[in-house]
Amino acid sequence: MQPVLELNGISKAYGSIKALKNVSYEVPEGCVFGILGPNGSGKTTMLSIILDILKPDTGSFAWFGDPGSPETRKRIGSLLETPNFYQYLSAVDNLNITHAISGRGNTADIDRVLEIVKLSERKKSRFSSYSLGMKQRLAIAAALLGDPQVLVFDEPTNGLDPVGIAEIRELIKELARRGKTIIMASHLLDEVEKVCTHVAIMKRGTLLTAGNVDEVLANEDIVEVSSNDPEKLFSLLANFPGCTNMKQDGKLIQLFFPVGTARLEDVNRFCFEKGITLNLLLVKKKSLETKFFELTND
């Protein structure tokens, strides 16, 4: 299947600062693709390049296999920063202005996008009366004008309180269910892990890894066990075959295995035959936060 977006060797420098260094990856159709990285990793520069706001020094990119055309660009909605909505105007009036300036969608489209972002009941309210989360949802509504196939968001939950973050998270999930491909840069690892199917992790302009979230995380199996005698259990499991590393945190013990090799029944049988009954035995998925810090810490 043709990827929605292909990046090939993108590099960009600002004087002596190399913002992006030979970055290449693909974004599959229908995915929620998170671009992660600390401040200064090149996330916003990358989004600015794929939206034709900046030009790369070297490299190329293609949307839907097309290196670039106005018609292709109409298939992409974006939110790089909150639009300058008029405080004293309603949501409908502000979106009418956005439509008139951008040429995206039509006046009939406004009710549709307000319904998607759950602002229909407040569509006549002044923008100044909106919460931060509502303001961000209106900004996403503006990006949805014209029914684009792809949405590009830069830090869509930045500055929001927990309620606003939850609102945007659920909205992104709903847009994904509607078949949109979503590309979002973020530093909120927990939020990305909850909504993204694919991820690219960057550091100082370098792409460290990219791919399906499960594949990015699955470089080892982690088995968690515990018993009423954790010290005895730890000593016993030190000789368990195939285990490459062990960690203990109170009563909880983690066993690390090469990916795809952990067998819970083997661990359970080994302990039972040695006279230890386990009260916890499960395979733990490595968190995106753990993987992120493994890759980005010097």
Tell me: pLDDT of 104 over 70: yes
Question: Does domain 219-296 bear CATH number 3.40.50.150?
Answer: no
CATH 3.30.70.980 range(s) for the chain read 219-296
Share of the chain above pLDDT 90, in %: 45
pTM of the predicted model, to two decimals?
0.78
- Cβ-based neighbour number of residue 87 at 10 Å: 11
**Could you tell me which CATH class the domain 5-216 is placed in?**
alpha beta
Q: What is the pLDDT of residues 1-11, one digit of tens each?
A: 789 999 999 99
Asked which of 113-127, 192-206, 227-241, 283-297 is least confident by mean pLDDT, the reply is 283-297
Q: Cα Rg for the chain, rounded, in angstroms?
A: 24
Three-class DSSP category at 197: coil
Give the C-alpha separation, 244 to 248, whole Å. 14
CATH 3.40.50.300 range(s) for the chain read 5-216
The three-state (H, E, C) secondary structure of 220-282, written as one string: EEEEEEECCCHHHHHHHHCCCCCCCEEEEECCEEEEEEECCCCCHHHHHHHHHHCCCCCCEEE
